[in-house]
Structure 1
Amino acid sequence: MKIYFTDFFNVEVETLENYGAFNISLINDLPLFIDPFLLFGNKKKEYQNLHDDIIKYLTFLKGKAETGRNRKHQVQSWYLFPEVKQNWFGYSKVGNKGSGLGKKFGDAFSSSIHIVFDDLGKEVVNQTSHLEKAGLFEIGVGKDNISDFTTNLIKQFLLEYTEKFSLENIETKFLRKVYVEKVFFDYKFERWMPKEYTLPYIYGDYVMLTPRDLLTKDDNWINSKDLRGNFTGILTGIPNEQLRHEVFNYYFQVLPKVEENKKNSQKEISTAIHKTIKQFPEIIKYYIKIKEENKEGAKSISESKVEEVETLFISQVQNFVELLSNTKFYKIPAKSSYAEALDRIVYLKKVIEDNDGYRLFYIGGVPIKREEDLQIIYRLTWFASDFDVNRETNNGRGPVDYAVSKGSKDKTLIEFKLASNSKLKQNLENQVEVYEKANNTNKSIKVILYFDIIEYNKVVAILKELKLNKSPNIILIDAGRKVSASNVK
């Protein structure tokens, strides 16, 4: 069964691991991204040079922004990049296609870069600039933007990294010469330049590998959530006593007064923090210094997060697919999209409930909490179908988990949900029916995964209330931990 890079290109997993690359899925994006701090904090000189190159480009952008000339042209040329979908990382709605860095990002970043990076190019000893700083200001630059920007700025390294591995380890029949746009920046001509590479090729496009030690999940090491979540702790660590007093004083002044034994709302706290940072932007420098001093922590946490992704979306999915292979799951004869989808879900249910398939949905003994993870898992196990399966197809009315179709006239929508979802009732009542109209189909299947009796009772109560308890297209799957048969008395 082919799911991962090593499967499609006949490479030994150990060979790829020894090279240091992550074994990406070529079915669906996995929820990882490149953290630029892992370039800065790594002992490899090559990585440190890449971080320096990023800062060099930011310095160039800042200098141009300060002149204020041809701003619209600059944004088009220097800030806008397509998503590097070929690395198969991110949170794409369909396969591996994301939105990239568009005009909104370009306008936000270019108009504020001289403010955010006010000391760029003027750093003193033991002071370093970081691209992630842009995500600490509320200027419309988020973690996805930081990751996409980083990937584009080090694309030449990633392409060379992939080409070297490919030429040494992949059969030539799987390779192709590819002309890649926007590979490196020519400072003399002030434009991004293309270059040709020999790369793995599939689905009409090249594939790009990424070193495992550059990846993380959820948040960059330097991130806004962390800054605001530990705000008073960061203020306490400011060594300048006078500045520390002034910052605390200002913060408590802008924080609304509340009655005794009551607390400020999270919104009030966030607003006060934002005002304080705006008044004392040097707070960010102290925060970044704290993060810089814990490089090993960044490395350790990122490794742990990558291992979690590998466990859930590679190791456990492979075991699950092996279980499915022992059933008729991948041998269901061609029939209507609804019949095949329903048959397959019945097999999924049996394997999960009766053949230890429930283990797929646990990390460290704790059940998965994100529906996005459940949807990726489903996509990775469904790949062998001869039907066109598009994850979260968007036809103008919002994304649905999967559209399974055999031509334009035979389409079934599949909605996967966790019983713990607080909006489950609303979803069952309205959501799929709206999607059906948008996708020109009247067939849908709703699959609800529950982990304990409390969640089961909640779902049953909702279904009874909505008079859906006898609906044949609503499938409940028990993913609760099972007692070993040998322990049953």
Structure 2
Amino acid sequence: MLNFLSSVLGLGNKIDDLGVFDPLMDIDSNYFINIKRLKETNIPEFKESYSKINKRFKEIGILLANSKISSDRLYQRALQLFDFPEVNGIGLGYSNNEHGSGFGPKLRKQIIKDAKQIIDSGVKEPEIFHLVGLFERNVGPDRISDMIACIIEDDIIAYTKRINKELSINSSKYSKFEFVNELLINPYKKSPLLLLPKEVLHEIPIARDWDDIDKVCNEINNIRLEINEVIGNKWSKMSIGYKKDFLRDFFISNPSHLMETITKYRSASVKPYDFKKDAKGEHIVAKIANNLPKNYPIQIQQQSTTFETYQIAQVICNKFKDLIENNKVSELLYYGGKPRPEKIVQRAFFCVADSYCNAFNIGISPETDSGRGPVDFKFERSYEDRTIVEIKLTSSSSLIHGIETQIQEYGKAEKTSKMIYLAVHNGGPQKRIDDLKSFYLSNKAKKGCPELIIVDATPKDSASKYKST
């Protein structure tokens, strides 16, 4: 099973019932702290968080406005204040490592240099730093979220301590875990585990309208006119990096247009992210799929030690197929009538497979890379006993390439001929599926041909309604 805090501590639905985001303890979740949601929250520990963020940015702005050169004391103090290492305990972002990158020295210097130019042009609003992801390369959702978390870390700690108290998460009840200053030490990351309310999180750190450069440029009339006049049709072909460079230079040269952008940003509001529907899919799919093996156990007559990983992988893949086709789990793989991306299907499979693997005492590793790119899953008991499983959606244009070439290369890299190709039908064209079947029938007798398992994940008329548990 995935290591949700609720499952590790046996809390059931208590975390969700309190409106707390149930974190995965061993990997990061791709959700982010949203500045605009902090402005609107009534949660006591975070009522002053938005003001605290702007206070820090105002202080940096005042220092830069009064500095003369980059080597003077005021400029250097501003640079010191713009230091936001990752707050490791919150478990958010894109990193699956123990620690993320935060803002490195080179990036900090570049941002402060650009901020100084913008401030010297006449714009001194703290929202300059809210929108830094619009005009700075290498600044994305995770770094902005890190920046916010760093500034309000004390608020996050206070909230965590209150929730820990309400849920009796303490050293007396959980004596096998380490606690420091009333905070649970995450055994997987070796850092204090910090909690956040769902209502301040989002799939991106600021409103969607302000994370999408093209959309911002289209909605701010003066920017759109400038782009049409100077760049024209080339804009659509430019990389994100070059678009950010253009906006940075444009804002420095046109401070009134930056103020227009800030004014529009200030008036924007962001609704709470709906974790029950979860458009992003990562959390709800993992939460529900994580509990499926308990409700739908695999029945095998013999002892698991008599089976090789290939046999176990076959059983698990076919169980996944049964859950999707006959137990209405296919609903998890859609949102708003549209298929979720392949990585969500992979996460659902991993949640199911990992629990079954624990029962059979074999290891499963997602996205292992042995030199020819990452295979989706590797089942392993020993160097001599390993099986790889590759998942592809029928909506993928690389469906045939996956079975003809891709999984074969993964097999060579992992030094195994035990391979399963799991094709999940989510509405891809029938010809593509027919071609897949034709390839398999023509090659299944040949050495090295993976077993093909096709899962019909197309929506069923009477799909069940799932609730996160």
Common topology (TM > 0.5): yes
Query: How far does residue 397 in structure 1 lie from its aligned partner after superposition?
Result: 4.2
* Residue 481 (str. 1) matches residue 467 (str. 2): no
* Residue 113 (str. 1) matches residue 112 (str. 2): yes
* Residue 379 (str. 1) matches residue 350 (str. 2): yes
Supply the distance in 1 between the matched residues of 2:388 and 2:415 (Cα, whole angstroms): 10
1:185-225 deviation digits (Å, cap 9, x = unpaired): xxxxxxxxxxx443154447343222111211146316665
Query: How far does residue 461 in structure 1 lie from its aligned partner after superposition?
Result: 1.0
* Residue 464 (str. 1) matches residue 438 (str. 2): yes
1:233-291 deviation digits (Å, cap 9, x = unpaired): 311xxxxxxxx5xx6664333134xxxxxx76721698689636623443343223223
Q: 1:362 aligns with which of 334, 342, 356?
A: 334
Residue pair 1:55, 1:130 contacting (<8 A) in 2 also: no
SS at match of 2:404: helix
Which residue in the other structure is 1:183 paired with? none
Aligned residues: 440
Q: 2:193 aligns with which of 179, 203, 207?
A: 207
1:364-389 deviation digits (Å, cap 9, x = unpaired): 44332x11111221222223223222
Which residue in the other structure is 2:311 paired with? 339
Counterpart code for 2:382: G
Q: 2:410 aligns with which of 435, 458, 463?
A: 435
Which residue in the other structure is 1:191 paired with? none
Residue pair 1:29, 1:88 contacting (<8 A) in 2 also: yes
SS at match of 1:406: strand
SS at match of 2:179: strand
Residue pair 2:425, 2:458 contacting (<8 A) in 1 also: yes
Residue pair 1:32, 1:216 contacting (<8 A) in 2 also: yes
Q: TM-score, normalised by structure 2?
A: 0.77
Query: How far does residue 333 in structure 1 lie from its aligned partner after superposition?
Result: 1.7
Supply the distance in 2 between the matched residues of 1:109 and 1:460 (Cα, whole angstroms): 53
Q: 1:291 aligns with which of 265, 270, 284?
A: 265
Query: How far does residue 99 in structure 1 lie from its aligned partner after superposition?
Result: 5.8
1:16-56 deviation digits (Å, cap 9, x = unpaired): 24533112344654332222332234355743533344445
Unaligned 5+ runs, structure 2: 464-469
Supply the distance in 1 between the matched residues of 2:335 and 2:276 (Cα, whole angstroms): 12
Q: TM-score, normalised by structure 1?
A: 0.74
Which residue in the other structure is 1:51 paired with? 50
Farther-moved stretch of structure 1 (136-145 vs 434-443): 434-443
Taking the TM superposition and a 5 Å limit, the aligned residue runs for 1:116-135 are: 116=115, 127-129=125-127, 131-135=129-133
SS at match of 1:20: coil
SS at match of 1:173: coil
Change (3 A) 1:12 1:428: closer
Supply the distance in 1 between the matched residues of 2:50 and 2:118 (Cα, whole angstroms): 17
Supply the distance in 2 between the matched residues of 1:67 and 1:361 (Cα, whole angstroms): 52
Change (3 A) 1:5 1:348: same
Change (3 A) 1:484 1:277: closer
Which residue in the other structure is 1:136 paired with? 134
Q: 2:325 aligns with which of 346, 349, 353?
A: 353
Counterpart code for 2:452: I
Change (3 A) 1:98 1:37: farther
Taking the TM superposition and a 5 Å limit, the aligned residue runs for 1:396-411 are: 396-411=371-386
Counterpart code for 1:89: L
Taking the TM superposition and a 5 Å limit, the aligned residue runs for 1:203-352 are: 203=188, 205=190, 206-218=192-204, 220-221=206-207, 225-235=211-221, 244=222, 250-256=226-232, 266-267=236-237, 275=246, 278-281=249-252, 282=255, 283-295=257-269, 298-300=270-272, 306=278, 309=281, 312-313=284-285, 316-317=288-289, 320-325=292-297, 327-328=298-299, 333-334=304-305, 335-352=307-324
Counterpart code for 1:375: Q
Unaligned 5+ runs, structure 1: 179-195, 236-243, 257-262
1:391-423 deviation digits (Å, cap 9, x = unpaired): 222345433222222134432222222111223
Residue pair 1:388, 1:405 contacting (<8 A) in 2 also: yes
Counterpart code for 2:435: A
1:72-104 deviation digits (Å, cap 9, x = unpaired): 9x99997473572x4343344xxx42661267x
Residue pair 1:412, 1:441 contacting (<8 A) in 2 also: yes
- Of all paired residues, the percent bearing the same amino acid is 21
SS at match of 2:160: helix
Counterpart code for 1:141: V
Supply the distance in 1 between the matched residues of 2:40 and 2:375 (Cα, whole angstroms): 40
Residue pair 2:29, 2:93 contacting (<8 A) in 1 also: yes
Counterpart code for 1:114: K
Change (3 A) 1:199 1:269: closer
Supply the distance in 2 between the matched residues of 1:102 and 1:372 (Cα, whole angstroms): 25
Which residue in the other structure is 1:240 paired with? none
Change (3 A) 1:329 1:3: farther
